[in-house]
A and B are shown apart, each in its own frame.
Chain A
Amino acid sequence: MRNPLSDLIVQIPPSGIRKFFDIVSEMEGAISLGVGEPDFDTPWHIRDEGIHSLKKGRTFYTSNAGLKELKIEICRYLERRFHVNYDYTDEVMVTVGGSEAIDIALRAMLNPGDEVLIPQPSYVSYVPCTVLAGGVPVEVQLEEKDRFRLTKDKLLEKITPKTKILILPFPNNPTGSIMEEEDLREIAKIVEEKDLFVISDEIYCELTYKGKHNTIAALPGMKERTVLINGFSKSYAMTGWRLGYACAPAVILKQMLKIHQYAIMCAPTTSQYAAIEALRNGDEDVERMRGAYDERRRFLVKALRDMGFDCYEPQGAFYVFPSIKRFGMSSDAFALKLLEEEKVAVVPGTAFGDCGEGYLRISYAYSLKDLKRALERIERFLKKLDAKE
């Protein structure tokens, strides 16, 4: 029999997270701080709107780009929150999560051999999606000394004549770093000079703890060069609804829509109706959840520092990214040992790129009670480590 598989897909390694997931799943009684989704349920009024749409028999496809009402609400929201204007008729599309938007944006824009700058550590899908779209991923290292922000110098170092796209994954998973307006201005200048495009993944935009999120698309001259990606998963605790969106200049969006049309048809109809309610009446929920995350963030950072971790204070998302360099162990080894000895699951930093070596990602999408229980175990683990030294 012939090899049934594509060489391209076979050479892409499975997600580092997957490997760790398999080990954790086997372990009885493990407590996990490894989750990348909110612990809150979707607010009831949003769920109710989804249920209502089903009761009314709204069970058909929507148009490819999504419900008109939803696209209009998305534009209003972006205007209201981040002062960026999009035309709902040809600059917005609703996708199956932010993930789909990342994939189709890359596929719509890349020609074979085009280079994509990917700041790392970052979410796991940028590199494989780039490869699948025929592009060449180029890592740009985010460093703790820069507060894990993307700097001008780091960016310039990696730009070549083949560079076409810069991915901006802020607020950042896994480091919790953000980009302030000043930081973005510097980046925007280079993007314009070097004639690049930006894919800005802003899925954590509502979860910032020191002031409001800034989008690069709102800077002068940037909207024409930016695909803004966002979604409902993190802001409204709607991960399972699989709903995101992309906003882009019409010429790019038109091609993205073509891929979406052939591969997906449309995002889930029920989820779209629920999302309209989220955007219309969900501000208080967002604020309530942000407040809870913020409490946990402060609690967790202090607790980790008190027990001897060197820990950058995250400003966004719901992760802390403490350094474990002083223990002289790899991230993988540390995470595995912590799991085996104290049954606490955290994600090794290397799951988010090689430069995550020496770090762990700890999620605070957990109740304070759960966090405390896990922290007691981590503290015991550190004491044992320190005693051995």
Chain B
Amino acid sequence: MREKILAVLEKNSRIDLGELASILGESEANIANEMAEMERDNVICGYHTLINWEKTGNEKMVALIEVKVTPQRGMGFDKIAERIYQYSEVESIYLMSGAYDFMVMLEGKTMREVAQFVSEKLSPMDSVLSTATHFVLKKYKDHGTIMCDKPEDERMLITP
């Protein structure tokens, strides 16, 4: 049941309990219990909103920064990541396989703020070897959702 609940919530976190119960064919109490448990266990970490900021006229940048690091005794990847994610500017950070170690995403910053973060906070860190910063020019699809306007329903109104 957990997986089913999560699959629905992942697409629509605002769904009300009654509706969730009815589409899954479960009782509201069961669903509420499961959700409370998953919140407690940090399986559900939050309920966020997918916003197309471009449409609000708000000029926020999204930057992806590739970071190479040198893990040392007592300072493994997890520890380094922790030092990075403590900065409130960091929207997300992933440990990657391949040519670099961390993918750090900053969101909602001006270009100057991003530059400042990289040059004054990220690069000077002891473990950081190098960084490469990329700016997102346009978001087409995010969280499985296509960001452009949805086409109208083109089906005929009544068909057999």
The finding on whether chains A and B are genuine partners in a shared complex, rather than unrelated, reads yes
Contact between chains at A35 and B24 (CB < 8 Å): no
Within 8 A of B (CB), among A254-303: 295-296, 298-299, 302-303
Is A34 interfacial (CB 8 A cutoff)? yes
Whether B23 and A15, one on each chain, are in contact in the complex, defined by CB atoms closer than 8 angstroms, is no
Residues B158 and A21 in contact, CB atoms below 8 Å apart: yes
Indicate whether B57 reaches chain A with its CB closer than 8 angstroms: no
Q: Is A32 engaged at the interface, CB distance under 8 Å to the other chain?
A: yes
Q: What are the residues of chain A within 8 A of B8 when measuring CB–CB?
A: 295
Q: What 1/0 mask marks residues of chain B from 94 to 114 whose CB sits below 8 Å from any chain A CB?
A: 000000000000000000000
**Taking the nearest CB of chain A, how far is it from the CB of B128, in angstroms?**
40
Most buried by B among A25, A302, A351: A302
**In contact, B159 and A17 (Cβ under 8 angstroms):** yes
Per-residue interface assignment for chain B, residues 117 to 160, with 1 indicating a CB less than 8 Å from any chain A CB and 0 otherwise: 00000000000000000000000000000000000010111111
Asked if A134 is at the interface of the complex by the 8 Å CB criterion, the answer is no
Query: How many Å from the CB of A193 to the closest CB on chain B?
Result: 33
- In the complex, the answer to whether B160 meets A32 with C-beta atoms within 8 Å is no
A137 to chain B, nearest CB (A): 16
Tell me how many residue pairs across A and B have CB atoms closer than 8 Å. 52
Contact A36 B160 (CB under 8 A): yes
Residues of B within 8 A of A219 (CB): none
A-contact 0/1 string along B68-90, CB 8 Å cutoff: 00000000000000000000000
A131 at the A/B interface (Cβ < 8 Å)?
Answer: no
A124 touches B160 (CB 8 A): yes
CA distance A345 to B23 in the complex (A): 23
Q: Does A376 sit at the interface, judged by CB under 8 A?
A: no
Name the distance in Å between A31's Cβ and chain B's nearest Cβ: 9
Identify which of B8, B156, B159 gathers the most chain A CB atoms within 10 Å of its CB: B159
CB distance from B51 to the nearest CB of A (A): 18
Q: What range describes how many residues of A lie at the interface?
A: 20 to 34
Q: Which of A17, A20, A34, A298 contacts B22 (CB 8 A)?
A: A298
Rounded to whole angstroms, the CA-CA distance of A374 and B148 in the bound complex is 25
Contact check, B24 vs A295: say whether CB atoms are below 8 A apart: yes
Q: Are B160 and A351 in contact (CB under 8 A)?
A: yes
Within 8 A of B (CB), among A17-66: 17, 20-21, 24-25, 30, 32, 34-37, 39
Q: Nearest chain A CB to B11's CB is how many angstroms away?
A: 10
The answer to the question of A216 belonging to the interface, with a C-beta cut-off of 8 Å to chain B, is no
Residues of B within 8 A of A368 (CB): 19, 23
Are A123 and B157 also in contact (CB < 8 A) when A298-B22, A298-B24, A299-B23 are? no
List chain A residues, Cβ under 8 A from B157: 21, 24-25, 30, 32, 34-35, 345
- Say yes or no: is A70 at the interface (Cβ < 8 Å to chain B): no
The answer to whether A34 and B158 touch (CB under 8 A), given A39-B153, A295-B8, is yes
In whole angstroms, what is the CA distance A25 to B159 when docked? 12
Q: Identify B160's interface contact among A24, A123, A302, CB under 8 A.
A: A123
**B46 in contact (CB, < 8 A):** no
* A199 interface residue per 8 A CB criterion: no
Binary flags per residue of B11-24, CB closer than 8 Å to A gives 1, else 0: 00000000100111
Contact A298 B156 (CB under 8 A): no
Contact between chains at A35 and B159 (CB < 8 Å): yes
In chain A, residues 130-187, which have Cβ atoms closer than 8 Å to a Cβ of chain B? 173
Bound-complex Cα distance A9 to B158 (A): 23
Taken together as a complex, chains A and B put the C-alpha atoms of A299 and B159 apart, in Å, by: 23
Residues of B within 8 A of A173 (CB): 160
- Contact between chains at A298 and B158 (CB < 8 Å): no
> What residues on B are CB-neighbors of A296 within 8 Å?
23
Instruction: Indicate which residue in B19, B153, B155, B160 contacts A299 across the interface (CB closer than 8 Å).
Output: B19
Closest Cβ of chain B: how far from A22's Cβ, in Å? 9
Q: What separation, in Å, do the CA atoms of A341 and B151 have in the docked complex?
A: 28
Q: Collect the chain B residues with CB atoms within 8 Å of residue A15's CB.
A: 160
Q: Is the pair A17, B158 in contact by a Cβ cutoff of 8 Å?
A: yes
Query: Can you list 30 A-B contacts with CB-CB less than 8 angstroms, sorted by A residue number?
Result: A15-B160, A17-B160, A20-B158, A21-B156, A21-B158, A24-B157, A25-B157, A30-B157, A32-B157, A32-B158, A34-B158, A35-B155, A35-B156, A35-B157, A35-B159, A36-B159, A36-B160, A39-B153, A123-B160, A298-B22, A298-B24, A298-B25, A299-B19, A299-B23, A302-B22, A345-B157, A345-B158, A351-B160, A368-B19, A368-B23
For the complex of A and B, the 8 pairs showing the least CB-CB separation, nearest first, are A34-B158, A295-B23, A21-B158, A32-B157, A36-B159, A302-B22, A299-B23, A124-B160
- Please name 13 further chain A to chain B contacts, defined as beta carbons within 8 Å, in addition to the given A30-B157, A34-B157, sorted by A numbering: A17-B159, A21-B159, A24-B158, A25-B157, A34-B158, A35-B156, A36-B159, A36-B160, A37-B155, A39-B153, A39-B155, A123-B160, A125-B160
